[in-house]
Structure 1
């Protein structure tokens, strides 16, 4: 495949880090954007393996930070051709007990951040007549309890995917989404603690609901990203695929 410039948000750990590594392994030049400084270690690992990568620390809910980050990536690696909107976090609570700040912060990163990143990168894709955007949603977009903010944000992200796919299709840009099921990341530890379980106990409880009989890994999601971002995947757009080990609640 051609070497492309790929930008992955939330790339400091978990699905974002796994996706960045997978894209780099295919020869792409990868920019890892994260709110923390953890992406630097992932970028270093990619470079040590012979790949091309850079880390940028930025809050993607901040328009100025997004503009600055994309300008820095463009100056160093070239115009962004592949965007993976992965950044996100959970602030779970029963809706009646949910602070407004937790609602706003989740919406700001998942939805506002994805919008800002698309606005900042899609013009170069339009000019080139080629682009790939992949939004990382969640199986929780279908339904989940005690996390109305997260469910609403992910459901909104899927609607955003379909709408922007229509807007950008004439310019050779595809927009798709992936909805991971249970994938073991740093967020899994938080969920386990909230449920009053050890990490191993929590994983086992989750595993029992999955038809495939195992929990997911960042690699499982990265493989789906590689499909959507492939050179010859230009007839697939506006789609949401759930990578979740089979239908389950």
Structure 2
């Protein structure tokens, strides 16, 4: 991957940070995008300290102008984008009948609209190169979850976008796949614990007991799957959703 430029959205923390570090470790030059630019800078500093090449860009992936500017900045600093990881996202949970419209719109805008806008902004360079890898981060919540209809709908939409774009982009040497993490210990896990009325440790233990392999996931688990989909010789795998969750789903 030493000739490739990768972009990771939501790369300033959690799964995104783990993915950015893994791609840099594999030799990619990495554009780390995040609304929290300080978080993105911290990840870039870690990449550079390890001898890698990276740039931090503050961006809101739900806003077309922000996406265009961010991709232009990465391209100017590192070169044309060949690998895109759509990871940016957050949760605003509530019962579907009580969900404010602004919470629905905000979650869908980042997860689904953001993935679409980033794909549109980066795929032309991949098409010109005759090679590209797009990995969308979904969730096992796409299969259904309580009190988060906006998140479930957005992630199910990401999986649909993955399959549709895979069909259209395959003739140009571009693969499009998705990863659906299960329970992964990140900052969002603290939010889930609070929603369940538990401490973080109590929540992680409860989740661990529900996972067949007997442990909670880490960003590294998701990053390893991204590296597989992004590999040079993964060109015969496209339009797929891989649930990385410690047990069977779907």
In 2: Cα distance, 1:133 partner to 1:53 partner = 19
- Report the counterpart of residue 18 of structure 1 in structure 2: 18
- Say whether residues 1:3 and 2:10 are aligned partners: no
In 2, are the aligned partners of 1:144 and 1:151 still within 8 Å (CA)?
A: yes
In 2: Cα distance, 1:118 partner to 1:32 partner = 16
- Say whether residues 1:28 and 2:50 are aligned partners: no
C-alpha deviation, 1:248, in angstroms: 6.0
In 2, are the aligned partners of 1:142 and 1:151 still within 8 Å (CA)?
A: yes
In 2: Cα distance, 1:99 partner to 1:145 partner = 16
- 1:90-109 counterparts in 2 under 5 A? 90-109=91-110
- Report the counterpart of residue 165 of structure 2 in structure 1: 164
In 1: Cα distance, 2:215 partner to 2:249 partner = 13
C-alpha deviation, 1:9, in angstroms: 0.1
- Say whether residues 1:192 and 2:193 are aligned partners: yes
- 1:191-230 counterparts in 2 under 5 A? 191-230=192-231
Deviations 1:38-81 (A, max 9, x none): 11001001101100011000101010010000011111100000
RMSD across aligned positions (CA): 0.9
In 2, are the aligned partners of 1:209 and 1:248 still within 8 Å (CA)?
A: no
In 1, are the aligned partners of 2:243 and 2:249 still within 8 Å (CA)?
A: no
- Report the counterpart of residue 86 of structure 1 in structure 2: 87
- Report the counterpart of residue 136 of structure 1 in structure 2: 137
C-alpha deviation, 1:195, in angstroms: 1.0
In 2: Cα distance, 1:82 partner to 1:214 partner = 30
Q: Which runs of 4+ in 1 moved over 3 A?
A: none
- 1:26-65 counterparts in 2 under 5 A? 26-37=26-37, 38-65=39-66
Where 2:159 maps in the other structure, the secondary structure is helix
Where 2:136 maps in the other structure, the secondary structure is strand
Please list every run of 5 or more consecutive structure 2 residues that lacks an aligned counterpart in the other structure: none
In 2, are the aligned partners of 1:211 and 1:248 still within 8 Å (CA)?
A: no
Where 1:179 maps in the other structure, the secondary structure is strand
Q: How many residues align?
A: 249
Deviations 1:198-244 (A, max 9, x none): 00000011111100000000000000000000000000000000000
In 1: Cα distance, 2:16 partner to 2:237 partner = 22
